[in-house]
Amino acid sequence: MTINRLVLFRAFKYVVYAFLAMNIYWFFIEEHAVVALQFPDGVEFARLFEAYAATIDTAAWVILLLMFELETSVLEDHHFTRGVTWTVQIVRIICYALIVRAFFGYIENLLFFDGVSVMAAGTDLCTLVDQWSYAVDLDEFEAITPGNCSSFGTALPLYQFPGMNAVVDSVGLFDIRALAWVDVINAGVWLLVVMVLELDVQLQEKNQLKGAVLKTSNGLKFVFYSLLFLAAVYWGIKGDFVDFWDAFLWLVAFFFIELNVVEWRHETEAAQAKSGIEQY
């Protein structure tokens, strides 16, 4: 029995989309664990995006990805009735609003980690057992106990996070700030990618995605995707698997969207060529 290659391709594509949807849960688990320390009295609505920036960001991106998939692959031109078009556009606008707000949530997280204070000279981790936590990673804090207090970083001085009984040494703080910067840069570059892709879709609908415009679009996206790949590599090196896995899956997912646009353009060109032959 021969399995259709197109069926396999689509199956693989939708498996990738499903994994991205699952990442919403994993980011929520990570951030919810930190929220208990960062917001011991509960999270105010105004700070929800600061507390759950990655969760909200990922959820909005997954929905936006599905909108791109519908528009560039699933739906045919005759499916775009006025109601469908308005529904897709409204959902996209809501997703963009959440994504932009989540971007500022990443900036707020960066500012939070910049607001640390130096602990008193001579403070040792083993004097903070049972009441304090140590920042193992950007989104991971571990309770300091007599059994592990000597196993954490010892690059003095120690720094306390604002409003939290949580500390980190100077090396760990540098890594956390670097990861926070990568979060901001990654989120900002993805916004640029989707702006170019939105323009691609609009131009393709008008059959204007060609020539110098197409070359410029491809050049910009090459730079943007390269930056996103470097961010994924950095997360991989730093051992943050969830962030690395998420970044890798998003690159694969948008590769599929790019293929959708290319196929759409080829179909349009083929239809125009056929129309020209028939008229001739």
Distance CA 180, CA 278 (A): 58
Backbone angles phi, psi at 166, to 5 degrees: -140, 140
CB 106 within 8 A of CB 53: yes
In this structure, the number of other CB atoms found within 10 A of the CB of residue 35 comes to 18
Distance CA 221, CA 228 (A): 10
Helices (H), the chain: 5-38, 48-51, 53-69, 82-114, 170-205, 211-237, 241-279
Pick left, alpha or beta for residue 122 (phi over 0 → left; psi -120 to 50 → alpha; otherwise beta).
Answer: left
Q: Say which amino acid occupies 245.
A: W
Q: What is the pLDDT along the chain (280 residues), one digit of tens a residue?
A: 345 677 777 888 888 899 999 999 988 988 888 887 778 777 777 778 778 888 998 999 999 888 888 887 776 766 778 888 888 889 989 999 999 988 998 898 899 888 889 887 767 788 888 788 888 888 788 888 888 878 876 777 888 988 888 888 888 899 999 999 999 999 999 999 988 888 887 887 777 777 888 888 889 999 999 999 999 999 888 877 888 888 898 998 888 888 877 777 666 666 665 665 555 4
DSSP state of 280: -
Residue spans of the domains in the chain: they are 5-115+173-279, 117-171
pLDDT for 1 equals: 39
Distance CA 138, CA 147 (A): 23
Distance CA 127, CA 92 (A): 51
In this structure, the number of other CB atoms found within 10 A of the CB of residue 200 comes to 23
pLDDT for 178 equals: 92
Counted residue by residue, the chain has a size of: 280
Pairing of strands 133-137, 166-169: parallel
Strand, helix or coil at 44? Answer: coil
Q: Say which amino acid occupies 117.
A: S
- The predicted model scores a pTM of 0.79
